A and B are shown apart, each in its own frame.
Chain A
Amino acid sequence: GAGVSQSPSNKVTEKGKDVELRCDPISGHTALYWYRQRLGQGLEFLIYFQGNSAPDKSGLPSDRFSAERTGESVSTLTIQRTQQEDSAVYLCASSQDYRTYNEQFFGPGTRLTVL
């Protein structure tokens, strides 16, 4: 595809339910990042994948959050037992590789609302 895609674009769920967010990176990009952005705030790093290396999970806020990536393709971010404070826009980005001088290409985000 031409860019990073994310689905769903919007998700409304009830407190306590599990949600799964999907990210399709740009083909050939080995690095993939997940961020969380609360209303009016900056981006909060969650997790990062680079090729077949172990992911950097240092930003995950709790053990309710997990993410997987199949090879160098699709990634899913799962939030278990959602809480109201999980409400935010979840952004995915990919880059050519892990080196930080590479531009990150962002998807449009998934807006999660936990009631």
Chain B
Amino acid sequence: SQQGEEDPQALSIQEGENATMNCSYKTSINNLQWYRQNSGRGLVHLILIRSNEREKHSGRLRVTLDTSKKSSSLLITASRAADTASYFCATDLSGNTPLVFGKGTRLSVIA
């Protein structure tokens, strides 16, 4: 089964609104990464948050991590049509194992 599960599976918002996506995982992790995928092609790394961090920012992105709840959230503020994509969280179980990706949240931003 998937280590990370994103929620919701799909999200549709108006341009300018904020988009929040959640990721839950099952076992302890060292770090969690968020990736973006356009049109079913290659993924692009957005941000990494380590297990000892609670929040990170990068431009319009804000990521939180709650290790007690085994969950993370990705907030995109002031969304734009160009933010339309699928967003995946990826977790690791230890420093030596490949990342495990969730099924993703499909975000549609309507202009």
Contact = CB atoms under 8 A, between A and B. Distances in A.
Nearest to B44: A106
Nearest to B106: A40
Nearest to A33: B98
Contacts of A107: 42
A14 interface: no
A101 B40 contact: no
- B interface: dominant SS: loop
B25 to A, nearest CB: 13
Contacts of B33: 103
A45 B100 contact: yes
Contacts of B2: 42
Contact of A101 (B88, B95, B101, B103): B95
B68 interface: no
Contacts of A56: 98
Given A37-B40, A89-B41, A106-B42, A101 B30 contact: yes
Interface of A: 4, 33, 35, 37, 39, 41-43, 45, 48, 56, 59, 89, 91, 93, 98-101, 103-109, 111
Given A48-B98, A89-B40, A101-B50, 4 more contacts: A43-B43, A45-B98, A56-B98, A101-B48
10 contacts: A35-B101, A41-B103, A42-B2, A42-B88, A42-B101, A43-B88, A45-B100, A45-B101, A103-B45, A106-B42
